[in-house]
Structure 1
Amino acid sequence: MDAKRLQLDGAVQCYLERSHGASGKAPTLVLLHGISSGAGSWAKLAEQLPGYRLLAWDAPGYGDSQPLAGEAPTAADYAARLETWLAALGIERCVLVGHSLGAMMASAYLAAHPGRLAGVVLADPAQGYGDAEAAKRDEVYRSRWTQLEAQGHAAYARARAPRLLREGADTTDIARVEAEMQKLHVAGFAQAGWMLANDTLARYLPATPEVPTLVVCGDEDRITPPEDAHALAVRLGAPYGGIPRAGHASYIDAPEAFARALDDFSRSLLGAADASETP
């Protein structure tokens, strides 16, 4: 995937792109990473989806993407940047894939801009703590970025990365997760932590979504448990897919199964060829 950047209304937005065929003509999947990750985490999955144009952003405050203006952003604030970015790229129709905290961003985007979306995938979805007691919200807010600041990137990544994957995960996958964590910026991490602690997915998707929606989750997810993801799917009236032998970062643990679920959902919505076809 090629690293790119855009200047958007005074804000720098960075992303990775992998095109298939004529640029802009292939069916497009837009990939939103989770709170402890970055655009590069999708590289292994990208190998399984040769028939699609893939756009993976570094969320505001991640990589070289400029942070959001306020210290206390909502998912809607991230969705506003997402809309500016997609509009600048001329994306008229896509399937939006939000992993973990990215699922909250995807939900906020769907609520505000359904017309640009053919479908939405909520993967291992974080649902937010905005309805929790103040003490719990403060605990969630301070649970990650303060550790990163105190421990340093290397120690934090070593301690945290294995938890995002299944038990007995491949060492190369653990290293991949660690590498993305070592790119984190404390300020951007803190903004994302605030959003997780003080917003909720349900605020944006209180009922059946306006566009086709799929919920998937790793069967061994220890962070956003499968039973919570399944309950979300039931509430939304959306199909649910379990990803076998996968933890929270299910698209890294089991990229073939994740890609198959994504392709099965997206192909008819975007008019795509089977993802197993080579370019």
Structure 2
Amino acid sequence: MDARRLRLETGEQCYREGGPGSPDEAPTLVLLHGISSSAGSWAKLAERLPGYRLLAWDAPGYGDSQPLANEAPTAADYAERLEAWLAALGVERCVLVGHSLGAMMAGAYLAAHPGRLAGVVLADPAQGYGDADEAKRDEVYRSRWTQLETQGHAAYARARAPRLLREGADPADIARVEAEMQKLHVAGFAQAGWMLANDLLSRYLPVAPALPTLVVCGDEDRITPPEDARGLASRLGLPYRDIPRAGHASYIDAPEAFARVLDDFARPLLGVADASETP
């Protein structure tokens, strides 16, 4: 996936793009990473999704993307930047895939701007702590960026990265997650932490969405456990799919399985022909 950038009214927005040579004619998947990651984390999955135009952003405050103006942002603030980015790119119809904290952003975008969406995938979804007491919200807010600031990037990544993957994960995958964590900026990380601590996915998806929506989760996820993801799917009456032998970063642990689930969901929504049916 090639690194690109756009100048929006609110500042620089960086992203990666991959797919066919004529992107305007290709079905589009938009990929939103989680709190400890970046656009580059999707590279392994991208190899398993030929035929799609893939757009993976560096969320505001990540990579070289301009942080949000609001120092205490909600998921709706991220959704507005997402809308500005997709509008600037001329994306008219896509399937939106939000992983972990990105699932909260995807939910907020679905609530505010459903017109560009054919469907949404909530992968290993964070659901937020906005209904917790003040002490818990403060603990969640300070639990990541303060450690990064104190420990430094290398030590923080070494300690944290293995927890995002399954037990006995491929060392190359652990190294991949570590490398993405070492790109974190304390200020952007703190903004995202505030959103996680003080917002709720249910504020944006209080009832079943009108658009096709799928919940998926790695069956060995230790960060947002499968029982929580299944509970979300049950509450909203949504379909649920396990990603076998995968931890929280399920699209890194099990990219083939994740790609199959995503392709099965997106293909009919975006009008993509099934290759197995081609004469």
**TM above 0.5, one fold?**
yes
1:87 equivalent in structure 2: 87
1:135 equivalent in structure 2: 135
Report how many aligned residue pairs link the two structures.
277
Q: 1:276 to 1:192 in 2, by over 3 A?
A: farther
Alignment TM-score, normalising by the size of structure 1: 0.98
1:218 equivalent in structure 2: 218
Q: Deviations over 1:59-102 (max 9, x none)?
A: 00000000000110000000000000000000000000000000
Structure 1: stretches of 5+ with no match in the other structure? none
Amino acid at match of 1:226: P
Residues 49 and 275, structure 1, Cα contact 8 Å, conserved in 2: no
Matches within 5 A, 1:54-133: 54-133=54-133
CA distance in 1, matches of 2:273, 2:156: 41
1:193 equivalent in structure 2: 193
**SS of corresponding position for 2:105:** helix
Which structure 1 residue ranges, 4+ long, deviate > 2 Å from structure 2? 273-277
Residues 51 and 273, structure 1, Cα contact 8 Å, conserved in 2: no
Shift of 1:51: 1.3
**SS of corresponding position for 1:31:** strand
Amino acid at match of 1:246: A
Alignment TM-score, normalising by the size of structure 2: 0.98
CA distance in 2, matches of 1:253, 1:164: 9
Amino acid at match of 2:108: A
**SS of corresponding position for 2:106:** helix
Amino acid at match of 1:69: A
Matched, 1:19 2:24: no
Q: Deviations over 1:242-261 (max 9, x none)?
A: 00000000000000000000
Shift of 1:276: 8.5
Matched, 1:266 2:266: yes
Residues 52 and 275, structure 1, Cα contact 8 Å, conserved in 2: no
Structure 2: stretches of 5+ with no match in the other structure? none
Q: Deviations over 1:20-52 (max 9, x none)?
A: 141211000000000000000000000000010
Amino acid at match of 2:184: L
Query: Structure 1 vs Structure 2: percent identity of aligned residues?
Result: 85
